[in-house]
Amino acid sequence: MNRGAGAAVGAAVGAAGFAIFHGQYPTSQLYGPTICRVPEAERMIALTYDDGPNPRHTEELMSVLDRHGARATFLLIGKWAEREPGIVRSLSDAGHALGNHTWSHPTMPLRTSVQIHEELRRCREAVEAAGVSFSKVDGGDLMRPPYGRRRPGTLRAMRESGYTPLLWSITCYDWRRTATVDKLVARGSRARGGDIILLHDGSNADPAADRSASVAATDEILRRLTGEGYRFVTVPELVGGGSA
C-alpha cells in the first residue's frame, strides 16, 4: 500500500472511530442536544433505571427509594411494560418519572425512521394501556435510546415522535458480569449536583433478570449522598430545578 492509500485508509478509520464515539458517548452533544447533566441543579441528583419493569426487583427498588425519600426516573421497555401493568402504575403512583426505552431494545442507529417510530409507538401504547403516561421535559416525553446509541437521524426521529432525548453523566456498569455492589457504589457515589446516574432494574434479554446488586447499591449510594446533603429527584425535577 502506497503512502497516499495508507493515509486515506487511516483517515477513514479515524472518521469512523470519531462517528462511533460521538454516537454513543453519553455526554456528547455533537449529533444534537440531549439531557445528560444539569450543572445548575447544584444539590440535586437524578437516579435513572433502564430495562424494567422487573417483577423480581422493581418494587423492591421502589421500597429502597421510598425509605430514603428519593424519587427516580424509570425508562421502560414496552414488551415488559405490557407484561407488568401493575408495576407501571405503582411507579407512577409513587411519584417516579417514566420514559420510553423502545418496545424491544434495538440498536436505533441500525433502524430506519419508520422502524424507530414503530418501536416508540408500541412502547407508548403498552404504558398507556396501564393507565399512565410518560413524563415530559422541555415540551417532549422522556426517551432514552438503548445503549445510548444515536445518530442525527435517530434523534430526529425521536423528536418527530414527540420525545426529548435523555442520556446520563455517570454509569455504574451494573450490567457487567463482574459487577459487585462495592464497584457500583464506588461509581455511583462520585455523583455531584446535576449528575444523572445510569443503573438498571431490568434487562432487555430477561424480564426477571437478577438486579439485586443494583438494588443494594442504590441503598448505599442514597445513604452516602443524602448524608452529604444531596436530594434525589426525577429528571423533570432536576431540569426544572436547574433552570429555576
Structural domains in the chain, CATH included, are: 3-243 (3.20.20.370)
Dist CA 117 CA 24 (whole Å): 20
pLDDT number for residue 142: 98
| Secondary structure of residue 104 in the 3-state scheme | coil
The tens digit of pLDDT for each residue in 198-230 reads 999 999 999 999 999 999 999 999 999 999 999
pTM for this predicted structure: 0.91
Q: Which of 57, 96, 101, 200 is catalytic?
A: 200
Lowest mean pLDDT among 26-30, 108-112, 168-172, 196-200: 26-30
Q: Is 200 a catalytic residue?
A: yes
Q: Is 96 a catalytic residue?
A: no
Q: Which of 50, 174, 201, 219 is catalytic?
A: 50
User: Cis peptide before 55, with omega less than 30 degrees from 0?
Assistant: no
Dist CA 102 CA 145 (whole Å): 7
Lowest mean pLDDT among 16-25, 98-107, 172-181: 16-25
